Amino acid sequence: MKVEYDASIKEEYLKRKKTVHIALSPVRHRVLKAQVALNNTSIQRFLEEICGLVCEEDEYIMKVLQSLSHEKKRKKRKIKSQLVNEEKDEIYKYIEDQN
């Protein structure tokens, strides 16, 4: 899905930076920090570039996003299925207890 630029957005809003807080596991943070340092850049610059790739709808980055979406849906279905199975077990147990 292509996201279009809205020309009605005032320039003053576009000049302000936005902040994002993300929680990473300590290991991933350490590796990310080391990798960007080895490449003489910063986490800030790296994430800014990744955001640029998303905005440009880079083919690889978009596949990663779609993969994450499919994984989330798969996990939801799995959890829902587990809940249904647990409910069935409870119903059968209730019926047995009634006899």
**pLDDT one-digit tens code per residue, 65-82:** 999 998 888 777 666 666
20: nearest Cα among 56, 50, 44, 52: 44
User: Which tokens belong to 17?
Assistant: 């930076």
With 90 as the cut, is the pLDDT of residue 35 above it?
Answer: yes
CA distance 89 to 93: 6
Computed over every residue of the chain, the mean pLDDT equals 82
Please report, for the chain, the start and end positions of each structural domain, with discontinuous segments joined by +.
Answer: 1-57, 59-99
CA distance 57 to 51: 10
- The pLDDT of residue 45 is 94
For the question of whether the overall pTM of this predicted structure is more than 0.85, the answer is no
CA distance 27 to 53: 25
Give the pLDDT mean for 69-96: 72
Give the pLDDT mean for 2-11: 66
Token pair 């905005």: residue: 55
CA distance 37 to 35: 5
